[in-house]
Amino acid sequence: AALEDLENLYSRMKNDEQFLAEFDRDLAYYVGRPSPLYYAERWSKELGGAQIYLKREDLNHTGSHKVNNTIGQALLAKLSGKKRIIAETGAGQHGVATATIAARLGLECVVYMGAEDVKRQAMNVYRMRLLGATVVPVQSGSKTLKDAMNEAMRDWVTNVDTTYYVIGTVAGPHPYPQLV
């Protein structure tokens, strides 16, 4: 039922003018989109004159493209009445983006991260915690992203009535791959 509810909500909201206006406002005024294009002059010359441009998603508010996804999903969480969002992260960018949007919307945030990744990505862990997220180091398996995703999924199915899972990659059960 939870996945069907999410699919129905997404189906209604993906063309809803008010939802899209709020999403676009956050992208423009909170993220800083559209992100600039940079003409890579030297690279273009080195590769035979092709006109190469780099889309500078690294200049987004949280430092990566991940925030584009988390805004939309967090708005869906808010509309569904969920007060708690969870996420998984490897290098930490998705966790930072999720924690950032949770703080903006006043949502509780829990981020699952493999214990090995927590050690490797201490600065991103610091940023998540600074934003108010609880970071849960996952000790099982290889202690990396795969295991963090498993723990996040366990949390979500246990707390589905109060929790929205902000998945960070094109994976998981339908409709999640469409949302990302």
Averaged confidence pLDDT in the chain: 95
Where would I find the beta strands (DSSP E) of the chain? 37-39, 53-55, 84-89, 108-114, 134-138, 163-165
Q: Is the confidence at residue 22, as pLDDT, over 90?
A: yes
Which CATH number characterizes residue 72's domain? 3.40.50.1100
Please report the pLDDT score of residue 135 as a whole number: 99
Q: Is the confidence at residue 178, as pLDDT, over 90?
A: no
**Contacts of 133 by beta carbon, 8 Å cutoff, 6+ apart:** 95, 98, 99, 102, 109, 110, 111
How many domains, in total, are found in the chain? 1
Please report the pLDDT score of residue 49 as a whole number: 84
Give pLDDT tens digits for 120-136: 999 999 999 999 999 99
Mean pLDDT, range 14-41, rounded to an integer: 95
Mean pLDDT, range 113-119, rounded to an integer: 97
Domain that holds residue 163: 2-179
Look up the pTM and report it. 0.92
**Contacts of 94 by beta carbon, 8 Å cutoff, 6+ apart:** 66, 69, 70, 87, 88, 168, 169
Q: Is the confidence at residue 46, as pLDDT, over 90?
A: yes
Give pLDDT tens digits for 152-176: 999 999 999 999 999 998 888 888 8
